[in-house]
């Protein structure tokens, strides 16, 4: 067990993450988010937006990631965001939605099948 923990700690250090940092899980998720976004951007030629702009409109697709946190891709054809896959977004797969920034929850689907 000790060897496994040492290997894990060494791996985290290669990612510039302190193994005892209480935010290490959040930092790993952020790294995964950025890496997946960069991969999708390279594959599609679209611009990956790290932050969700308010009133962002786009079509919903499911991200193919191996994370414990399923993600959705919302793309306007030239730009895209990755957001947590909610039941509402799963139901809107293939449809156009408008995402907004709210206090609680922090991201909300504001409408479906919105015309440009």
Of residues 104 and 18, the one with the higher pLDDT is 18
Alpha carbon distance 57, 99 (integer Å): 6
Q: What would the mean pLDDT of 51-58 be, rounded to a whole number?
A: 87
Residue 57 has pLDDT above 50, yes or no: yes
Q: What is the pLDDT of residue 103?
A: 44
Q: Where are the beta strands (DSSP E) in the chain?
A: 47-48, 56-62, 71-75, 79-84, 96-101, 107-112
Could you read off the pLDDT of 58-113 as tens digits, one per residue?
Answer: 999 998 877 777 899 999 999 999 998 889 899 999 999 988 776 455 566 666 65
Alpha carbon distance 60, 75 (integer Å): 7
What is the percent of the chain where pLDDT is above 70?
85
Q: How do strand 96-101 and strand 56-62 relate by DSSP bridges?
A: antiparallel
**Structure tokens that stand for 82 in this block:** 């990755």
Distances (CA, A) of 42 to 13, 47, 60, 66, 95: 27, 9, 19, 19, 23
């Amino acid at each position: 067990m000790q060897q496994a923990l040492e290997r894990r700690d060494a791996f985290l250090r290669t990612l510039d993450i302190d193994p005892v940092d209480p935010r290490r899980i959040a930092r790993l998720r952020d790294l995964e988010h950025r890496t997946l976004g960069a991969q999708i951007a390279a594959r599609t030629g679209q611009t990956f937006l790290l932050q969700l702009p308010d009133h962002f409109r786009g079509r919903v697709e499911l991200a193919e990631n191996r994370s414990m946190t399923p993600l959705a891709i919302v793309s306007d054809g030239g730009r895209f965001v990755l957001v947590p896959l909610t039941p509402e977004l799963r139901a809107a797969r293939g449809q156009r939605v408008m995402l907004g920034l709210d206090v609680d929850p922090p991201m909300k689907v504001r409408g479906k099948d919105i015309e440009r």
